[in-house]
Amino acid sequence: MNNKPFVIGIAGGSGSGKTFFLHCFLNHFEKDDVCLVSQDDYYIPVAHNMTPEENKLYNFDLPATIDKDHFLDDIDKLIRGEVVQKKEYTFNNPNAVPKLLEIKPAPILIIEGLFILHFEEIAAAMDLKIFIDTEEEVALKRRLKRDLIERGYSEDDVLYKWHNHVVPSYRQYLLPYRDACSRVITNNTQLAEDIIKITEEISGDLKQRLEFR
């Protein structure tokens, strides 16, 4: 393989199962074989001084909430073989101390997030585009479980954001790009074996293509 990494884009709406898919996929490689850049770490910080009601009404599900220039610049650095340092995004938790992330270049570069296909310059850098497709009802159940337990939101806040922010944004900024992706993976079940099997297939193809040993 040449010096340019093989760039994979993994897109999916909230609750689609991107995190689990990534976990399964990364298990098929050595640590130094893959680096990951997550759109979530490029949110423009605005919420630390918001009241709970302001936070509820603020729409985080828009491309304008992402520092796209910084996101693209870090992707370009990794493609050029440079190390990237970036503070992690703490999802508006004022008590969390953000870690300093060090992302080292690798033969495979994964970019994941909601708007990665909408951002034309970022989408153009990808060699393989993967779309995680999930029914909205299933995705909502997963979102409720995550936000109620992990992030401490009320059910009313989660449902407000889901119907007013999450779903409209998904339909406008992600769904239109689904059919242009190389792989569309349906993830409506809780069967880990299904996703593991798919990641085995994709990782096997990549190892052959990139001559991994």
3-state secondary structure 97-143: CCCEEEECCCCEEEEECCCCCCCHHHHHCCCEEEEEECCHHHHHHHH
Is the pLDDT assigned to residue 94 strictly greater than 70?
no
How far apart, in whole angstroms, are the C-alpha atoms of residue 17 and residue 92? 22
How far apart, in whole angstroms, are the C-alpha atoms of residue 178 and residue 60? 21
Is the pLDDT assigned to residue 182 strictly greater than 80?
yes
How distant is the alpha carbon of residue 100 from its chain centre? Answer: 19
Residue 102 is predicted with a pLDDT of 92
Rounded mean pLDDT, 3-23: 94
Is the pLDDT assigned to residue 213 strictly greater than 70?
no
Phi-psi region of 93 (alpha: psi -120 to 50; beta: other; left: phi over 0): beta
Is the pLDDT assigned to residue 164 strictly greater than 90?
yes
The answer to which of 36-40, 170-174, 193-197, 206-210 has the lowest mean pLDDT is: 206-210
Q: Per residue in 99-152, pLDDT tens?
A: 888 999 999 999 999 999 999 999 999 999 999 999 999 999 999 988 887 777
Angle at 112 between CA 103 and CA 117, to 5 degrees: 130
Q: Does domain 6-209 have CATH number 3.40.50.300?
A: yes
The answer to which of 42-51, 126-135, 189-198 has the lowest mean pLDDT is: 42-51
| Ramachandran angles phi, psi of 129, nearest 5° | -115, 125
